[in-house]
């Protein structure tokens, strides 16, 4: 019968049947109409309100549209060369992906087979867990301890089928981090038994002097893989570009699962230009984030609203009501936040730090919706 597909049930593997699809938020224009707001401040995705670097902006503007017809470099050749110079590693120590999200899948597919597992935290960036599960592997989720990754419990959870341990440093969404001593002690105890991925998507925001430089640790720990992205600090989220770095032997394995040509030419051009003035942009952005974090946390303290503010470009706020309800109320006032129930933090929202005037408006809106 037309429209019926009885074989579908048989075609779908059981581990896929269990999965709920992730529904991204609607485009801003649609949301504005739905909630009746004329402006919308996006405090939901940890985007950099200062945008791309000056050099990246120029590179995007000067991108020759005719080049749209030509395939990009299949392995981001020039970008890997510049990354190699910046971090003192071989260009072959890098794999560039369509956002750091894509390299998560490269790593998992390279090392896991049926019956294997990965280990990560229960309240962290969920894509490690999702990719493992929809690829048919178990994700062992270790509860956070004092809002941070619990190194001892993670070590105890390792078994002979554990292939990768994912550590988000600093953690999204709690902002906690392992310092160099703690990370090195963890890597020493793992002693090369598993791959250790340290996701440093927010590392460029961290100012603490004891924060580890994972790019340097790669020389001592060949099982260490580092993730970075151009989406957060460097304001290229729309272009989708991120990368991993590791020892030549490990990257050579991961390269086998890597989708070549997945990173478009404009993204490669903009990322390459970013490295020209990355340090200036980091200094400017860090100053903005510092000022906004200080403002937001002191206002929340005055209002007696509990929060978790660590490193990174975000703060989580605990509320006396459902996060979905507060989301809808804030949307009507033009502030889009991230509900945290999906991160296993019910009644919490995560707020991206943006320049002071936006934070002032947000506090005003939050006060108003909590009064009602
Ligand atoms: C911790 C963490 N890792 C990786 C990513 C993926 O970044 P992208 O795919 O935009 O490079 C994100 C994005 O939110 C993140 O928060």
Any ligand 1 atom below 6 A from CB of 201:
yes
How many A from CA of 313 to the centre of ligand 1? 12
101-126 confidence digits (pLDDT tens): 999 999 999 999 999 999 999 999 99
Q: Name the class of domain 54-277.
A: alpha beta
Retrieve residue 338's tokens: 């991230």
Q: What is the dihedral of CA 91, 97, 100, 103, to 10 degrees?
A: -90
101 pocket-lining for ligand 1 (C-beta < 6 Å): yes
Determine the pLDDT at residue 2.
Answer: 67
Question: In the chain, which stretches have pLDDT less than 70?
Answer: 1-2
> Tell me, what's the pLDDT at 181?
98
DSSP-derived secondary structure letter, 148? B
8-51+278-371 fold: 3.90.1150
Q: Please list the alpha-helical segments (H only) found in 256-322.
A: 265-302
12 burial type by CB count under 10 A (0-12 exposed, 13-18 middle, 19+ buried): exposed
Q: Is 103 in the pocket of ligand 1 (CB under 6 A)?
A: no
CA 3 to chain CA centroid, Å, is 39
pTM over 0.75, yes/no:
yes
What distance, in Å, lies between the first and last C-alpha atoms of the chain?
A: 54
| Per-residue model confidence as pLDDT tens digits over 231-285 | 999 999 999 999 999 999 999 999 999 989 999 999 999 999 999 999 999 999 9
Q: For residue 100, how far is its CA from the centre of ligand 1 (angstroms)?
A: 6
Q: How far is the CA of 202 from the centre of ligand 1 (A)?
A: 8
The confidence score (pLDDT) of residue 289 equals 98
The DSSP secondary-structure symbol of 193 reads S
**Could you state, in order of their start, the residue ranges of all structural domains in the chain?**
8-51+278-371, 54-277
pLDDT score at 161? 98
Closest ligand 1 atom to Cα of 124: 1
Q: Which two tokens stand for residue 213?
A: 């430089």
């Amino acid at each position: 019968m037309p429209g019926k597909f009885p074989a579908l049930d048989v075609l779908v593997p059981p581990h896929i049947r269990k999965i709920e699809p992730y529904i991204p938020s609607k485009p801003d224009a649609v949301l504005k109409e739905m909630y009746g707001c004329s402006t919308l401040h996006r405090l939901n995705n940890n985007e950099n309100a200062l945008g791309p670097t000056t050099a990246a902006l120029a590179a995007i503007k000067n991108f020759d549209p005719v080049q749209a017809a030509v395939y990009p470099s299949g392995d981001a050749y020039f970008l890997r060369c510049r990354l190699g110079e910046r971090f003192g590693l071989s260009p072959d120590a890098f794999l560039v992906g369509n956002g750091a999200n894509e390299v998560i899948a490269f790593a998992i597919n390279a090392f896991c087979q049926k019956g294997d597992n990965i280990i990560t935290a229960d309240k962290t960036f969920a894509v490690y867990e999702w990719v493992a599960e929809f690829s048919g592997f178990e994700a062992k989720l270790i509860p956070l301890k004092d809002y941070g990754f619990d190194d001892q419990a993670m070590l105890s959870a390792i078994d002979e089928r554990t292939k990768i341990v994912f550590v988000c440093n600093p953690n999204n969404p709690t902002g906690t981090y392992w310092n160099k001593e703690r990370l090195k002690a963890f890597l020493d105890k793992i002693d090369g038994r598993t791959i250790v991925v340290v996701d440093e998507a927010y590392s460029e925001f961290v100012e603490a002097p004891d924060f580890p430089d994972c790019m340097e640790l790669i020389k001592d720990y060949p099982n260490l893989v580092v993730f970075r992205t151009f989406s957060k600090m460097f304001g290229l989220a729309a272009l989708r570009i991120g990368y991993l770095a590791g020892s030549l032997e490990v990257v050579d394995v991961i390269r086998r699962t890597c989708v070549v040509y997945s990173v478009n030419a404009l993204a490669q051009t903009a990322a390459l230009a970013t490295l020209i003035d990355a340090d200036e942009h980091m200094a400017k952005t860090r100053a903005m984030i510092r000022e906004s974090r200080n403002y937001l946390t002191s206002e929340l303290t005055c209002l007696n609203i509990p929060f978790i503010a660590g490193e990174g470009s975000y703060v989580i706020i605990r509320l006396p009501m459902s996060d979905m309800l507060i989301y809808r109320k804030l949307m009507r006032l033009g502030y889009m936040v991230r509900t945290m129930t999906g991160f296993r933090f019910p009644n919490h929202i995560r707020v991206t730090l943006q320049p002071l005037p936006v934070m002032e408006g947000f506090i005003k809106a939050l006060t108003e919706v909590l009064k009602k």
